[in-house]
Structure 1
Amino acid sequence: MYAARVCKDCGADCVFFCETCGKDLCSVHKGVHMVDLDNANHFVILYRERNGYFIKDEYCEKHPELACKLWCDSCDEPFCDECWKEKKKDHEKHAMMEVFEAYKKYKEEFKPKIAQLRSEVLPYNRAILAGIEPDIPECEAQIAELKEKMRDKAERLKKYIDKCVKKKCPKRLKRLENKIIGQLNQQCIDLQEHIDYLRELVYRYEHSANKPAEFLLFLKDHPLDKVPDIPESCKELPEMTFNTEVTKEDVLKLLGEITVEETGIRKPEYRFTLERLRVVKYLGTVPVTGVKSACHMSCKSATEFWISDKVNLVLIDQTGKKLSDVKDKLDKECGVHAVTKDGDLIYIDKKSNIRKLLKDKKDKPSTLINSKESWETLSVFCSFESDDILVGMIIHNINRAMVVRYSSDGKEKHFIECEHYTTPLFVTENHNQDVVVSNHDRNSSSVVVTNGGGEYRFSFNGPPKEPGFKPRSICVDGLSNILVYDDNSKSIVMIDVDGHYLEIFQVQQNLIQSPRCVSYSIDNHTVFVYSSSNSHVVVSRHINRQEYLGKPTIDPDADKKKKKKN
């Protein structure tokens, strides 16, 4: 007898097999397996394909009794033997192969794409779908708010119209009346003067016989052929009308337009994608060479990170191998380097300039931002959301500090000055665009957070009942929690996006001994903590993707249900 293969997670019928870890999986747990960040690079196949393929004959539409055996790779068309005889001349110079060989070729070619669809695209689309659902009541709430605003505006318009009709309209009409009556009175004056003038002309003409010379001189000054019949000012009473019609369009114009701004393509929100694990998961340890007592790290990828002490700055891979280094780094124990979305290194040099080293390291570092006069540059961070560059700087003699935001090409956008920090040793940005500063102060050090516009949000002064908080290296995780190294308690403190204390970050068996700095890889949501006791970096994960993201895309029992109906 043969033993049936069952899923290792639930005991259901085995349908899939993971080629990477050798695990038997049912339809449900295949999805769960694929969304687990530990299995991001695993490849799952149908179990029946594990030991080869069982090929069914696929018959030609034109010749139903014949199976399609050939494939034209140039035309993307299958052929049975009869079709090939008929069309052979048209395809002699085309790339021909057996159908199954073509299948294997393209299945292997698209294997990475399918892996990406399984592990990334499908889960992210489900997360986006989860984000759309709460937008429906949010939309309804916004529409209700717009209705209330329109009602309020309509009431104010009504009051203003009543006020205008009662006070302003009568005044306006009175001014119009006075103006027109004034014009009519002026017409009377002008016309009377014109009549007197005409009478004078007639009189001179009638009494001119005995004084011909005088009459001729009069005509010279008053040519009769140019005398107007009536004065120009004598016009008819103007016709005054008022449009009494009111249309819907008139009312809508008064109420104003409703503007709808396009906001771009949706992105999955981490709250619908990720969740905290109950226990921090240990992933491995990386030996570090080239630095002593490191104080800052920047993850270039899930497998490489830049790490620095006061003097040195080196790039390390997951095996501990030193890949590169930078010689002109600023000699300070603060956040002097960061990594861009593209994997390029941004760092502060010895002259307080911000320099950029491309990830391929083919070119020498180039100066991206020149130092500000009188200002000392202390820290730098590159936003993963916008690719903007945040730079923390101070002027010692006047005790002034600020964080300046630059575009990715080094153009200054704006600066943030906050009275709550004096020395921004480390700076980072949260997913909601909050600017998070690890501030050093002789009297009271703290984590200071402002929003993207520079408005103060909160300060975190350390875990409860633990005085002497000294924040140093700082980063944020995928759920917008803030991880900060406390040099007083020699531990990694975790707080949430609003500054509430969560816990001391620790891996099982206390694998993190004497931590000195912390960093986070957004690529696979792993935490890197440098341990000064053995000069190793401990890699762990406290976040994973939510299991619902891996639910089957189709009902695994759909075919069985159809057969039962039939």
Structure 2
Amino acid sequence: MDTARAQYRVHQCSKCPGDTGYYCVSCPCDLCPRCKEGHLNDLKTIDHDVVKHNEKYWGNVEVLCTRSAYQGKRQQHKETIHTIKSETLFYRSVLRTGIIADINTCHKKFSLFQLEMNAKAKRLKERLDNIRCDVDFKHRCRKQRKDVHGYIASIQIYLDRYEKSAIRPLQFLSSIKTTHVTPKHRTLHNSQMSMTESLNKVAVLESLIKIKCTERGDRSVGEDHFLKPLPKPELHHSLTVRGADGCYHISCFTTDQVFVSDKEGNLILTNTKEDIFCHLKDICSDDSIKCNGLHTVNNENELIYIDGNYNIKKQPRNQGKPHIFITTTDSIWEPQCVYWSPSTGDLLVAQYKRESAKNEKVQVVRYNQTGQEKQAIQHKPDLYSKPSYITENNNGDIIVSDYGLSGAVVVTERGGRHRFSYTGHPSGSGLRPRGICTDALSHIIVCDGRTYTVQMINKDGQFLSHILVRPAGILQPYSLNYDVNTHRLWVGSEYNNKICVYRYLARQKTISEHLFDKRTHASEDEMPKPSRAIDPNSTHVILKPLHDIKYTETSQKDKECLQKVMTSDHRLHESRIVTGECQATVDAKGLESQTLHRSIRISGVENCNHISFVTLDQMWVNDRRNLILWNTDGGILHRLIDVYCGSNQGSHTVNSEGELIYIDRNYNINKLSNNRQIVSVLVKRKNFKWLPRCVYWSSRTGDTLVGMFSVHKNKGMYSKITRFNKNGHWTQTIRRDSSNQDIYSEPSYITENNNRDVIMSDWSGAVVVTDHQGRHRFSYTGHPPGSGLKACGVCTDALSQILVCDRRTDTVHILNRDGCFLSLLTTQIDGVFKPCSLCYDYSTHRLLVGLESNKVCEYEYITEPKDLSDGRPFNTDRNGSSNSTCSDVSMCVDNS
């Protein structure tokens, strides 16, 4: 082999043209050093297992043994490795950027100080030089000494002459006369050299130095500097907690393990692979608090929970035998929920005491790490009524989810002073708070059992957004937990034993990552780009020709003369209406009201739970016990006994032959002939786990759509829609969305639109719409989105509009086929208007509204075009064209 010509292949990074050095076991993909850092910094992949690329190819026995030992140590220190990779290294890069900026700033400031210091030093040197030149003390002392010595010598001469005057007086007097000596009075200079005030030591130092250093502690990075909310939460993964009956509270144990408690007193430790590691059964199962926040995990990964005797126990990290941490000596004060504070290491316990029906007290007790009471904060009953969950914010605020009469998130500061109470959005609209937590940005996140949403407010109680609105898979969110390591939100369901993990925060890129991205994109732009293939599972709309629709002259005429909406008193709050290319916001003040054609009192039933239209003067109506055929002229024509008549359920329908299709008491789907003589089984119940709940016969396909539900012990309730053909054979099942998450909770009523969309009225708070192939299109949860909906009867009209009864507000909502809210149909009959069921008559274009009483009201809210003179009933095209469409569905519906 010619080695000189041999070609060697260098592994290339999966994300950029760089050379690979690492391998992600979780993805899997090859990564260069730079992309490896970004891969671990991204919250989407922060917990992925990234190893050196050569570890991927360990093969022989000796190497396998080494690898086994290596993997064992790696698993032992998994959390430490994760912290270093995902947090420490990321913080290092962020801190390094800040340090470099500070160094550059210091250099600039030091250079300015240095120039000033040099100038001052020069001036000081000149001063000292002048002093040394002007004051030569040594020279002056010598001169003074010479003068003193001369003066002493002259005095001595004079003295000598004076003493000799006694011997020769005449000679002395003559000498005085000729040489007069005048005494010289000299002052002695005994000055000492000293530093003046302007030249003292302190003044010199202060004049030279103006740089002040302030001690600020260790350098750190706040979470708000590198975290930002995502436009829309992303589902990271989901898991089913085996053996749990609902997920009522969650406590994160590790990044992939959580403790989950249910309503039956089970406390289970599971992981993302749905393995069970621990199952405790001595957790408190009192009906009054079993759905509260009964457990928490401390910094040492020790489980702390409330047991059946209201003692607070602690279980070691290795799942050893639990021991009593805090004994409840006062049987009157009952602990309701617990939370361990990672910032202080204290344990917060909300306690409740009921002395009488009118005397209730609540207190929050703080215990230290040894279980000693540090603080007791008592509140009056009007602040709390029944605390169910408790947590602590980053600023020390104590946050309580009060599920009692107050229905609020109550926030107090550390000392117990009340700060605010959040009661829903808009303020005062109502809240049923359940699970609660806070995140790294000090946001408060709470589950609302009224609207089945997860809401986020800031630390001061201002509403920010709905993170989740009736999320698929969970449908009824109940419990929450925020993982501080991965910044992910764990959400548990009351409806079933499902937990979904979401990413709603993302990390902001550092400067170095931005520069690297620019270089990477620049290199990618230089590379030839492959042609794109359209992904059939993508969100892009693929338009196909409609071969099954035939356009006749009459249908074109009908299309041009679209029906007018005689809009109501409809209280159209604010909605987006698009006509052609014009889009506007419409206020419905002053619009004409709909027309009440007639009101029919149905004898033989207590209320009108469901209506199936037969002819202009005949309809099937049922309450909780009876299903009767009512004639507007003659009263009851027929009564069925062997029928499943549930409240808020569309348990019957009528086909084009006038035959009644209904669910019987054995959950078979039967067909009653139009002469009401023969009953035949259309679909026989075979699977005893799935039970039919509502039916609808499709006039477009001749199929029967059946809403079904299934109740499993320790698994919750699940629902689906099943399609049967004319012969009663199964053809389709609609159950999950593109993420394989359940989209139905409690099927109530079912119908089909002109464009063959399948529409389910789900009692748990939504109108769920899928296309005819079963792909989830949208879920309508009220107006505005997330405001709450108790969906009952549902139908569609000739304009492909969707009409649904809302028992929460006792109104009828009108939507377009894309889920955009159009208006509210509000009418009061005898002071009470509580709509339960709907039925649209395509022959007269009138709406039948069944009330909670035994009345059916017939409304005319759309009219036929006046230019149709042939007397035919108006029909829209099969595609369901309408003059009211919504270009921005996200403004009106939840597409999660």
Asked if Structure 1 and Structure 2 have the same fold, meaning a TM-score greater than 0.5 normalized by the shorter chain, the answer is yes
Check 1:461–1:45 CA distance in 2 against 1; reply closer, same or farther (3 A cut).
Answer: same
The within-5 A match list for 1:146-157 is none
Instruction: Give 1:537's match in structure 2, choosing from 485, 499, 503.
Output: 499
AA at the equivalent of 1:284: H
The within-5 A match list for 1:11-410 is 11-14=16-19, 16-20=21-25, 21-25=27-31, 28-37=34-43, 38-43=45-50, 45=52, 117-128=84-95, 265=218, 267-310=220-263, 311-330=265-284, 331=286, 332=289, 333-372=291-330, 374-397=332-355, 398-410=359-371
Alpha-carbon distance between aligned partners in 1 of 2:52 and 2:514, rounded to the nearest angstrom: 14
More strand by share: 2
- CA offset digits 1:424-478 (Å, max 9, x no partner): 2210011222111112332x31111122222322221112277231111111122
**Match of residue 689 from structure 2:** none
1:132 Cα shift?
8.1
1:379 Cα shift?
0.9
**Match of residue 83 from structure 1:** none
1:405 Cα shift?
0.9
Check 1:7–1:464 CA distance in 2 against 1; reply closer, same or farther (3 A cut).
Answer: farther
AA at the equivalent of 1:399: E
TM-score between the two structures when normalised by the length of structure 1: 0.58
Alpha-carbon distance between aligned partners in 2 of 1:505 and 1:547, rounded to the nearest angstrom: 23
1:532 Cα shift?
3.5
- CA offset digits 1:64-91 (Å, max 9, x no partner): xxxxxxxxxxxxxxxxxxxxxxxxxxxx
**SS across alignment from 1:547:** coil
Alpha-carbon distance between aligned partners in 1 of 2:81 and 2:252, rounded to the nearest angstrom: 27
- The answer (yes or no) to whether the contact 1:313–1:326 under 8 Å persists in 2 is yes
Shifted more, 541-550 versus 379-388: the winner is: 541-550
1:14 Cα shift?
3.8
**Match of residue 196 from structure 1:** none
AA at the equivalent of 1:422: S
Check 1:459–1:290 CA distance in 2 against 1; reply closer, same or farther (3 A cut).
Answer: same
- The answer (yes or no) to whether the contact 2:24–2:31 under 8 Å persists in 1 is no
- The answer (yes or no) to whether the contact 2:454–2:469 under 8 Å persists in 1 is no
**Match of residue 393 from structure 2:** 430
**Match of residue 97 from structure 1:** none
- The answer (yes or no) to whether the contact 2:94–2:510 under 8 Å persists in 1 is no
**SS across alignment from 1:533:** coil
1:391 Cα shift?
0.4
**Match of residue 887 from structure 2:** none
The within-5 A match list for 1:433-448 is 433-442=396-405, 444-448=406-410
Structure showing greater radius of gyration is: 2
- The answer (yes or no) to whether the contact 2:446–2:454 under 8 Å persists in 1 is yes
**Match of residue 472 from structure 1:** 434
**Match of residue 762 from structure 2:** none
Alpha-carbon distance between aligned partners in 2 of 1:299 and 1:131, rounded to the nearest angstrom: 33
1:115 Cα shift?
7.3
Check 1:543–1:530 CA distance in 2 against 1; reply closer, same or farther (3 A cut).
Answer: same
AA at the equivalent of 2:274: G
**SS across alignment from 1:401:** strand
**Match of residue 189 from structure 1:** none
Check 1:32–1:328 CA distance in 2 against 1; reply closer, same or farther (3 A cut).
Answer: same
The within-5 A match list for 1:503-522 is 503-506=465-468, 510-522=472-484
Check 1:516–1:51 CA distance in 2 against 1; reply closer, same or farther (3 A cut).
Answer: closer
Alignment pair present for 1:484 and 2:446 = yes
Alpha-carbon distance between aligned partners in 1 of 2:377 and 2:100, rounded to the nearest angstrom: 36
How many corresponding residue pairs?
384
Which protein, 1 or 2, shows the higher relative CO under an 8 Å CA cutoff with sep ≥ 6?
A: 1
Check 1:393–1:550 CA distance in 2 against 1; reply closer, same or farther (3 A cut).
Answer: farther
Alpha-carbon distance between aligned partners in 2 of 1:459 and 1:130, rounded to the nearest angstrom: 41
Alpha-carbon distance between aligned partners in 2 of 1:526 and 1:487, rounded to the nearest angstrom: 21
AA at the equivalent of 1:320: E
Alpha-carbon distance between aligned partners in 2 of 1:42 and 1:308, rounded to the nearest angstrom: 29
AA at the equivalent of 1:473: G
Identical aligned pairs, as a percentage?
31
- The answer (yes or no) to whether the contact 2:283–2:307 under 8 Å persists in 1 is yes
1:31 Cα shift?
2.6
Check 1:343–1:134 CA distance in 2 against 1; reply closer, same or farther (3 A cut).
Answer: farther
Check 1:440–1:248 CA distance in 2 against 1; reply closer, same or farther (3 A cut).
Answer: farther
AA at the equivalent of 1:342: E
**SS across alignment from 1:503:** strand
- The answer (yes or no) to whether the contact 1:352–1:371 under 8 Å persists in 2 is no
More helix by share: 1
Q: CA RMSD in A?
A: 4.2
TM-score between the two structures when normalised by the length of structure 2: 0.38
- The answer (yes or no) to whether the contact 2:296–2:305 under 8 Å persists in 1 is yes
- CA offset digits 1:177-230 (Å, max 9, x no partner): xxxxxxxxxxxxxxxxxxxxxxxxxxxxxxxxxxxxxxxxxxxxxxxxxxxxxx
Check 1:316–1:51 CA distance in 2 against 1; reply closer, same or farther (3 A cut).
Answer: closer
1:322 Cα shift?
2.7
Check 1:130–1:290 CA distance in 2 against 1; reply closer, same or farther (3 A cut).
Answer: farther
1:338 Cα shift?
0.9
User: Structure 2: any 5+ residue segments left out of the alignment?
Assistant: 1-6, 59-65, 104-199, 203-212, 520-896
